[in-house]
A and B are shown apart, each in its own frame.
Chain A
Amino acid sequence: MASPALRVHDLTVELGGVGRILDGVSFELPRGQTLGIVGESGCGKSMTALAVMQLMPSPALRITAGEIEVAGESMLRASERRRRAMRGSELAMIFQDPMTSLNPLYTVGDQIVESIRKNEAMPRRRAMARAGELLGAVGIPDPERHLREYPHQLSGGKRQRVMIAMALAGDPGLLIADEPTTALDVTVQAQIFDVLRAMQARLGTAIMMITHDMGAVAEMADRVVVMYAGRVVEEGPVGDILTAPRHPYTRGLIACIPHMADRTFDEWPELPAIAGTVPELADRRHGCAFAPRCPLADRHCAEAAPPLAGAPGWRSACWKDPIGARQ
């Protein structure tokens, strides 16, 4: 069997002297599928993405254990030169804010051409033609004109489409999308999801989508990884998790999705929220990190961290989950 597009195993990232930002994170993303990674801010979602890219923002952050394999090749053991070659051709990333993710000094065409030629040597004119095709594929009308435009002349939605075109220029097997639609309005969000799905169907790209929006996960993902305070707390197929979440944190996240359909504005109930915030890195102690905010927590939860347990395919890390962990 072919190796998955991405395999993260027991990934641990430490901030020198302070604590573990990621603690034993494991998941797999099969080729051509979409994996949603959800959680609040500070749960380690973006850190996971940066670790996979091997673009850690600070030398104080070190990977102290675990393995990251992209299409079966270890990112951790690869030389920096090999990693650079892999970025763009094996795995690529799009970012949250399309407004700042494009270089303001070069035209859209020039930037896509750079991405294309970094991965495949070809004459400039042919690369520009490819860039035009890519822009068309991500749903930008009149690509010839937009190739000559500068980023500040494009709307946010178009810029994010350009980012997707650039990321897919090297035909990578894995695309990491870090909150790709957070900075965009809802109608544009739906269009961007359509583009991602269309490109996935066309190129067979696996997508690792980071989001705090359960609605986006429901729409896009095949599988979900729920992260809390640097750990995976639940992991499974999107349908199962959305209909019968097993971890109380997942239940809390799902309860936060507003349901518009069956209510008028007047009877709109107060939107539920999970009380409290994600603990600071220095405050994380032994025991379940979610225990202080968990309605089900008891003494045992505060003393020992629950392992990720259950049948492979759908696991959760909670002492109170009858299917998973046993006390």
Chain B
Amino acid sequence: MTADRPQAAAKKPSSPLREARAAFARNKAGVLGLVLLTLVVALAAIGPFVYPVDPFEIVSAPLTPPLHDAAVPLGSDYLGRDLLAGIVHGARVTLFVGGAAAAMTVTIGIVIGASAGYWGGRIDGLLMRLTEFFQVLPPLLFAMALVTLFTPSIPIIAFAIGLVSWPAMARLTRAEFLKIKPLGYVAATRSGGGGDGYLIWRVILPNAAPPLIVSAALVVGMAILFEAGLSFLGLGDPNVMSWGLIIGANREYIIDGWWTVTFPGFAVFVTVLGLSLIGDGLNDAFNPNLRER
């Protein structure tokens, strides 16, 4: 494909996946996003072992500014808890909520969207009314209602975020199915004896995947923001340290201790930025019109 490596192109037949990967590698912003996310994931994976300070333990005077006390390099919060420990330990929780909520969003969205788009007719009408019902509920209020209904815990929060986020994914999946279903290879596969399940999972869904993957990457970022928002409103799990919980707990001290909300806020920002850049990079990589040559 590329002019500077004609032998490689001639030797290996270029698969759509391989081409997309090469296009992603050429996208600087996308690679930056991948680097940022890798750092956050690494922080979540090994941070707690490298920096094993209990984030709930009071180790310093309240609201110690950063770089004043060697025990709390990033300062302490309003109770005197180590902010760095909170950020390091909160990374896991934040990523878990983002990942779990996104997984739920993608699963519900694809199942409903694919069924509606594939079968059409009455099933489509029914599923789309259901989708619209969820879509018209204000997501934040709906999620708050769900979290307060049960006890606020991390799985419940992830569940609530997933439950309010799937309609957009369902609509996107349905639109892709409607676009691909009339294409020749679907009819050709069916005339060769392909059944409904085979057509949905092996033929249409893989061809619909690019925009869904992009969307899923963005959903993870959105879910992280959502968790931070819920925690900020005091609906987070008070027993598990997450970035949102740090911001929420310290929100009243934003004037006296700017660092207490700035550092966890920055951590959220970097993670969501990384995910957004990855999403954009994937979008460009899957879009042949934007691909150079």
Residues on A facing B (Cβ under 8 Å): 53, 55, 59, 84-89, 92-95, 97, 99-105, 107, 115, 118-119, 148-150, 153, 163, 166-167, 169-170
- Cβ-defined contact, B207 with A95, below 8 A: no
Contacts of A166 in B (CB 8 A): 188, 192
B138 on the A face (CB < 8 A) = no
Contacts of B187 in A (CB 8 A): 55, 95, 101
- Cβ-defined contact, A101 with B188, below 8 A: yes
A302 shortest CB reach to chain B, Å: 38
B184 on the A face (CB < 8 A) = yes
Please measure, in the bound complex, the distance between the C-alpha atom of A84 and the C-alpha atom of B16, giving whole angstroms.
Answer: 30
- Cβ-defined contact, A89 with B193, below 8 A: yes
Overall SS of chain A's interface: loop
Known contacts A100-B183, A103-B185; is-contact A87 B193 (Cβ 8 Å): yes
- Cβ-defined contact, B192 with A105, below 8 A: no
- Cβ-defined contact, B13 with A115, below 8 A: no
B151 on the A face (CB < 8 A) = no
Overall SS of chain B's interface: helix
Please measure, in the bound complex, the distance between the C-alpha atom of A92 and the C-alpha atom of B189, giving whole angstroms.
Answer: 10
B206 on the A face (CB < 8 A) = yes
B190 on the A face (CB < 8 A) = yes
Please measure, in the bound complex, the distance between the C-alpha atom of A272 and the C-alpha atom of B11, giving whole angstroms.
Answer: 52
- Cβ-defined contact, B185 with A115, below 8 A: no
- Cβ-defined contact, B193 with A170, below 8 A: yes
Please measure, in the bound complex, the distance between the C-alpha atom of A193 and the C-alpha atom of B14, giving whole angstroms.
Answer: 31
- Cβ-defined contact, A87 with B16, below 8 A: no
Among A95, A118, A169, the residue within 8 A (CB) of B184 is: A95
Known contacts A100-B185, A102-B188; is-contact A150 B15 (Cβ 8 Å): yes
Known contacts A55-B190, A92-B192; is-contact A103 B14 (Cβ 8 Å): no
Closest 10 CB pairs of A and B: A100-B184, A88-B193, A101-B184, A87-B193, A93-B191, A101-B188, A103-B185, A88-B192, A149-B13, A148-B13
- Can you pick out 14 interface pairs between chain A and chain B where the beta carbons lie within 8 Å of each other? A55-B190, A87-B192, A88-B192, A93-B191, A101-B184, A102-B188, A103-B185, A105-B207, A107-B13, A118-B192, A149-B13, A153-B14, A166-B192, A169-B192
* Bitwise interface map of B from 114 to 141 toward A, beta carbon under 8 Å scored 1, else 0: 0000000100000000000000000000
Contacts of A88 in B (CB 8 A): 191-193
